[in-house]
């Protein structure tokens, strides 16, 4: 008969202790990045585009939440009044997000210094 120490030695591929840091890629080095660097990076973005981005993020979150909650009220509870109101709010928020998206696609939120004379004549 073999002892229990012989059984432990027979498992050569079994690691002695699990190292959780061995899983996945190495985390990025954040010591060179600071809050001031992040704030200065947003100064490169035109103010109108910055505001349009965050407004569209907010409106899209409202749209997704209201549309899903409204659909659940209608389907699970049969409450068309509350569900319909939530669906209407979601549809208005989704339309608002589309308007911001369309404004960015047409160049409404770019700096005036970056726009060409052709774009300025099109906007008038």
Q: Is residue 17 part of a domain?
A: no
Q: Is residue 61 part of a domain?
A: yes
* DSSP states along 84-118: HHHHHHHHHHHHHHHHHHHHHHTTTTS-TTTS-HH
Give the residue-averaged pLDDT of 12-17: 64
Number of domains observed in the structure of the chain:
1
User: Which pLDDT band holds residue 13 (cuts at 50, 70, 90)?
Assistant: low
Position with higher pLDDT, 10 vs 92: 92
Specify the DSSP element, H or E, that contains 24. none
Position with higher pLDDT, 78 vs 34: 78
Q: How far is CA 20 from CA 24, 38, 50, in A?
A: 9, 30, 39
What are 1's two structure tokens? 């008969």
Q: Is residue 99 part of a domain?
A: yes
Q: For residues 66 and 68, what is the distance between their CA atoms, to the nearest angstrom?
A: 6
Model pLDDT for residues 89-106, shown as the tens digit of each residue: 999 999 999 998 898 888
Q: Is residue 75 part of a domain?
A: yes
Q: How crowded is the C-beta side of 58, counted as CA atoms within 13 Å?
A: 6
Q: For residues 106 and 71, what is the distance between their CA atoms, to the nearest angstrom?
A: 33
Model pLDDT for residues 50-62, shown as the tens digit of each residue: 888 899 999 999 9
Q: Which domain holds residue 84?
A: 45-107
């Amino acid at each position: 008969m073999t002892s229990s120490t012989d059984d432990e030695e027979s498992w050569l591929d079994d690691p002695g202790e699990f190292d959780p840091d061995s899983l996945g890629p190495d985390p990025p080095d954040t010591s060179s990045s600071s809050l001031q660097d992040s704030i200065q990076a947003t100064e490169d973005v035109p103010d109108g585009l910055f505001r349009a981005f965050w407004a569209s993020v907010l409106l899209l979150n409202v749209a997704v939440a209201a549309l899903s909650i409204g659909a659940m009220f209608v389907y699970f509870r049969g409450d068309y009044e509350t569900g319909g109101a939530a669906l209407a709010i979601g549809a208005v928020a989704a339309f608002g997000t589309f308007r911001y998206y369309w404004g960015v696609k047409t160049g409404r939120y770019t700096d005036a210094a970056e726009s060409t004379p052709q774009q300025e004549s099109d906007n008038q």
